Amino acid sequence: MKMIWKYLKDYKKECVFAPLFKMLEAIFELFVPLVVSSIIDKGIGGGDQNYIIKMCMLLITLAVIGLVCAITAQFFSAKAAVGCATGMRHSLFAHIQGLSYTEIDTIGSSTLITRMTSDINQVQNGVNLVLRLFLRSPFIVFGAMIMAFTIDVQAALVFVAAIPVLAVIVFGIMMITRPLYKKVQAGLDKILLVTRENLTGVRVIRAFNKEEEEIERFEKANEELNGLQKFVGSISGLMNPLTYVVVNVSIIALIWLGAVRVDAGTLTTGAVIALYNYMSQILVELIKLANLIVSVTKALACANRIDGVFAIESSMEDGKVKADDSVKADIPAVEFRNVALKYANAAEDSVTGVTFKVMKGQTVGIIGGTGSGKSTLVSMIPRFYDATGGQVLIDGRDVKEYTLESLRDKVAVVLQKAQLFKGSIRDNIKWGKPDATDEEIMEALEVAQAKEFVVKKDGVLDSFVEQGGKNLSGGQRQRLTIARAVVKKPDILILDDSASALDYATDAALRKSIREMTPSPTLFIVSQRASSLKFADIIVVLDDGEVAGIGTHDELLAACEVYQEIYYSQYKKGE
């Protein structure tokens, strides 16, 4: 609740006016049975037609005033609920962006998507209903009981007996279902994960003819969620019939008691009708309250899940030093000192004991077998992950001392998976430098060997790119992501196996154009191709997370068995 109130603070006026106007609507509604009672006793009983017309006009007036109050209350409650959800969504998104990869990997992207969408929507609906009904429904229930006492004390005792029983039913079911709704939302996370994996991996699923297995997997997760929802729904569904039973038994008792007292002459027919109407009002409001309790229970369960994400702090603290370019020539641009990294919940280190220096403007090749830790090694330079042992230094300072913004402004990374966003080519390239001119963009495209296919497209830089770059080939996507990185002219450029879809000639032209950039960046190339690293100043060979050799191509080919194995698997001896 504290978390929700934090985002409702800016809507104090709406939070006051919404229930206030609902209370006004309820007050006018409570007068209706009294008007109906007077119509029956005085108008119909006395045969006064003018009185009946006058009272009917009063009923219409009460209805119009109630309608205006209801619409006004709905406006204020909707404004507060939507505003609260919007603020919460913005804050949650900003908080997630501030988490390190370690936390995001642990939580899971499917869970975070559920928190951002379904959970916040449930909270929004809950806030809306609470502002409109949470005070109105109890007010009607107790107001009807008080009004019943003004009509007849003995008959009103039926209300006194019924209301506590109804309260036990409503709040008892709420206490039972609240933890179950948390499990329902967790099941929704699982469904989202399966769906997301199937949609993103649809080509792989079809290539391996796994459609039937994935359908069974989805159906299993769906049936589990369905069963849980049926169970909690059946418990929540008991609320309406149980309240109906209690209220209808109360109505029977009320009519029986009223008939006896009318026969005795101590109660009028109109008064009995008024008491019946008040009991009916209680029934309607308890049904509303029952639905409100279900919605509030869901909303609170979702709010706790959202608060759980807010409670997660990033394990990566931001530094205080801003990275700059004023570095002495004899200071290494990047240095690894006995670096080790162990992923969260992993059994052993992914990388261990890595030590080497890279001077400004040098090209470094990282090579090794699958799972040897190549991507893990370079991911520590921009602090995607923090080293769990040793130090990674840039320009003589530990990367942990730099502010993340200035560090990542100094480093550009092209990841293994070429990720493009829906929009134009220009929009995608400007991710690297928001104020880049068209000339700078074309220069970056030329460096990335992408200019040739871009200029042939209709619209050139305005050409449309679908989500994920699905309307482009793998090589085109990779070259555009490289252009996005080089447009900012970073001091350190990391190509993490990002040229795997390029042919050898294009790959060689790409490396040559990057070396000729002014100023020339310190270049890290992660690749499985020995040809891509052959002319690097330093080649680091990794084997199962450890350094198997460091040196030039000729030095490693002469002395490093792991490098020899990789190289001769691609080239015949003597070539």
C-alpha distances out from residue 523 to 331, 481, 493, 527, Å: 16, 16, 5, 13
Question: How many domains is the chain partitioned into structurally?
Answer: 2
pLDDT value at 1 more than 70: no
Q: Classify residue 513: in a domain, yes or no.
A: yes
Q: Classify residue 276: in a domain, yes or no.
A: yes
Summarised one tens digit per residue, pLDDT across range 437-465 is: 888 889 998 888 888 888 888 888 888 88
pLDDT at 575: 56
Same domain, 262 and 181: yes
Q: Which domain holds residue 192?
A: 2-310
Query: What percent of the chain clears pLDDT 90, i.e. is strictly above it?
Result: 6
Same domain, 146 and 294: yes
128 by Cβ neighbours in 10 Å (0-12 / 13-18 / 19+) ranks as buried
Looking only at the bridges linking them, the beta strands covering 363-368 and 538-543 are parallel
Q: What are the tokens at 76?
A: 């204020």
Q: How far, in Å, CA of 184 to CA of 107, rounded?
A: 17
User: 563: which residues sit within 8 A by CB, 6+ positions away?
Assistant: 367, 530, 539, 541, 548, 549, 556, 557
User: 292: which residues sit within 8 A by CB, 6+ positions away?
Assistant: 129, 130, 133, 134, 137
pLDDT value at 372 more than 80: yes
Same domain, 263 and 403: no
C-alpha distances out from residue 28 to 24, 54, 143, 185, Å: 6, 17, 11, 40
Q: Classify residue 161: in a domain, yes or no.
A: yes
Of 118-132, 167-181, 401-415, 510-524, which range is least confident? 167-181
- Evaluate the CA torsion angle 386, 391, 393, 399 in order and state its sign: positive
Q: How far, in Å, CA of 216 to CA of 220, rounded?
A: 6
Residue 519: asked if its preceding bond is cis (omega within 30°), the reply is yes
pLDDT at 364: 92
Q: Classify residue 297: in a domain, yes or no.
A: yes
DSSP state, residue 11: G
Q: How far, in Å, CA of 390 to CA of 338, rounded?
A: 5
Q: Has this prediction a pTM greater than 0.85?
A: no
Of 173, 166, 170, 116, the C-alpha closest to 144 is: 166
pLDDT at 325: 62
Are the C-beta atoms of residues 135 and 12 closer than 8 Å to each other?
no
Q: How far, in Å, CA of 391 to CA of 502, rounded?
A: 34
pLDDT at 96: 87
**Residue 535, number of CB atoms within 10 A of its CB:** 15
- Evaluate the CA torsion angle 496, 501, 504, 510 in order and state its sign: negative
Summarised one tens digit per residue, pLDDT across range 7-56 is: 888 888 888 898 889 888 888 888 888 888 888 878 787 777 888 888 88
Average pLDDT over residues 472-480: 86
pLDDT at 72: 92
- Evaluate the CA torsion angle 347, 402, 413, 109 in order and state its sign: positive
Q: How far, in Å, CA of 535 to CA of 419, rounded?
A: 28
Same domain, 20 and 164: yes
Same domain, 93 and 172: yes
CATH code for position 564: 3.40.50.300
Looking only at the bridges linking them, the beta strands covering 351-358 and 334-341 are antiparallel
Average pLDDT over residues 397-423: 87
Same domain, 118 and 21: yes
Residue tagged 């191709």 (tokens): 529
pLDDT value at 162 more than 60: yes
Q: What are the tokens at 99?
A: 């988490």
Of 488, 524, 163, 195, the C-alpha closest to 359 is: 524
pLDDT value at 533 more than 80: yes
Q: How far, in Å, CA of 342 to CA of 355, rounded?
A: 16
More confident call, 566 vs 41: 566
pLDDT at 524: 92
pLDDT at 76: 92
Q: How far, in Å, CA of 345 to CA of 365, rounded?
A: 29
365: number of CA atoms within 13 Å, CB side?
24
Q: How far, in Å, CA of 230 to CA of 3, rounded?
A: 30
pLDDT value at 522 more than 70: yes
pLDDT value at 155 more than 80: no
User: 168: which residues sit within 8 A by CB, 6+ positions away?
Assistant: none
Q: Classify residue 321: in a domain, yes or no.
A: no
Average pLDDT over residues 382-409: 88
Average pLDDT over residues 249-263: 81
Of 390, 383, 368, the C-alpha closest to 413 is: 383
Q: Classify residue 233: in a domain, yes or no.
A: yes
Same domain, 426 and 289: no
Average pLDDT over residues 396-420: 87
Q: What are the tokens at 433?
A: 């430098």
Residue 355 phi, psi (nearest 5): -140, 120
pLDDT at 519: 80
289 by Cβ neighbours in 10 Å (0-12 / 13-18 / 19+) ranks as buried
pLDDT value at 324 more than 80: no
Q: Classify residue 197: in a domain, yes or no.
A: yes
By three-state DSSP, how is residue 202 classified?
A: helix
Same domain, 358 and 497: yes
Q: How far, in Å, CA of 359 to CA of 537, rounded?
A: 10
Residue tagged 């769990």 (tokens): 388
Residue tagged 């290494």 (tokens): 332
pLDDT at 327: 59
Q: How far, in Å, CA of 553 to CA of 575, rounded?
A: 14
Q: Classify residue 172: in a domain, yes or no.
A: yes
Are the C-beta atoms of residues 363 and 536 closer than 8 Å to each other?
yes
The edge-to-edge listing of strands for the beta sheet with 334-341 is 351-358, 334-341, 389-394, 397-398
pLDDT at 497: 82
Q: How far, in Å, CA of 206 to CA of 323, rounded?
A: 47
Tell me which of 277, 310, 343 is where a domain ends.
310
Same domain, 339 and 475: yes
CATH code for position 43: 1.20.1560.10
pLDDT value at 326 more than 70: no
Average pLDDT over residues 70-87: 91
Same domain, 249 and 378: no
User: Average per-residue pLDDT in the chain?
Assistant: 84
3-state secondary structure 412-475: EEECCCCCCCCEEHHHHHCCCCCCCCHHHHHHHHHHCCCHHHHCCCCCHHHCEECHHHCCCCHH
Same domain, 232 and 283: yes
Q: What are the tokens at 518?
A: 């002014």
User: 47: which residues sit within 8 A by CB, 6+ positions away?
Assistant: none
Are the C-beta atoms of residues 537 and 552 closer than 8 Å to each other?
yes
Average pLDDT over residues 487-509: 85
Same domain, 338 and 283: no
Query: What percent of the chain clears pLDDT 70, i.e. is strictly above it?
Result: 98
Helices then strands (H, E): number in the chain? 23, 12
Q: How far, in Å, CA of 356 to CA of 495, rounded?
A: 18
Average pLDDT over residues 512-523: 86
